[in-house]
Amino acid sequence: MSELLTAPTVVDSSEDRTMILNMGPQHPSTHGVLRLVLEIDGEVVVRVAPDIGYLHTGIEKTCEAKFYQQVVPLTDRIDYCSPMHNNLCYCLAVEKLLQLEIPERAQWLRVLLSELTRLNSHLIWLGTHAMDIGALTVFLYCFREREQILRLFDDLAGQRMMTSYFRIGGLALEPPLDFFPRVRAFLKTMPEKIDEYENLLTGNRIFINRIKGVGLLSAEDAISLGVTGPPLRASGVDWDLRRDMPYSSYEKFQFKVPVSTGCDVWSRYVLRVQEMRESVKIATQALDGMPEGPIKANAPKIVLPDREAMKTQMEALIHHFKIVTEGFGVPAGEVYQAIESSRGEMGYYVVSDGTAKPYRVHMRNPTFATLQAIEKMCVGRLIADVVAAIGSIDIVLGEIDR
Name the site residues for another protein (rule: CB under 8 A): 1-2, 5-6, 52-53, 56, 58, 60-62, 64-65, 96-97, 99, 223-226, 237, 239, 244-245, 332-336, 338, 345, 347, 349, 351, 359-360, 362, 364, 368-369, 371-372, 401-402
Nearest approach in angstroms of CB 99 to another protein is 7
Nearest approach in angstroms of CB 352 to another protein is 11
Residue from 54, 55, 193 nearest 126 by CA = 193
Q: HSE (CB half, 13 Å, CA atoms) of 10?
A: 3
Q: Is 134 exposed, middle or buried (0-12, 13-18, 19+ CB in 10 A)?
A: exposed
Nearest approach in angstroms of CB 365 to another protein is 10
Of 305 and 366, nearer to another protein (C-beta) is 366
Nearest approach in angstroms of CB 62 to another protein is 7
Give one DSSP letter per residue of 253-290, joined into a string: -----------SHHHHHHHHHHHHHHHHHHHHHHHHT-
Given a contact cutoff of 8 angstroms between Cβ atoms, the answer to whether 293 and 103 are in contact is yes
Instruction: Supply angle C-alpha 131, 133, 135, rounded to 5.
Output: 50
Nearest approach in angstroms of CB 374 to another protein is 11
In whole angstroms, give the CA distance from residue 394 to residue 79: 11
Of 169 and 347, nearer to another protein (C-beta) is 347
Q: How many CB atoms lie within 10 A of CB 225?
A: 18
Distance from first CA to last CA of the chain, Å, rounded? 24
Nearest approach in angstroms of CB 74 to another protein is 13
Give the contacts of 215 (CB within 8 A, at least 6 positions apart).
Answer: 264, 265, 268, 377, 378, 381, 385, 388, 389, 392
Nearest approach in angstroms of CB 382 to another protein is 25
Bridge partners (DSSP) of residue 364 are: 347
Of 338 and 390, nearer to another protein (C-beta) is 338
Of 62 and 202, nearer to another protein (C-beta) is 62
Q: HSE (CB half, 13 Å, CA atoms) of 269?
A: 27
Of 7 and 206, nearer to another protein (C-beta) is 7
Kindly report the backbone phi and psi dihedral angles of residue 210, in degrees, each rounded to the nearest multiple of 5, phi listed first: -70, -30
Nearest approach in angstroms of CB 328 to another protein is 17
Is-cis flag, bond preceding 25, omega within 30? yes
Residue from 79, 139, 161, 142 nearest 367 by CA = 79
Of 145 and 345, nearer to another protein (C-beta) is 345
Nearest approach in angstroms of CB 296 to another protein is 22
Of 20 and 130, nearer to another protein (C-beta) is 20
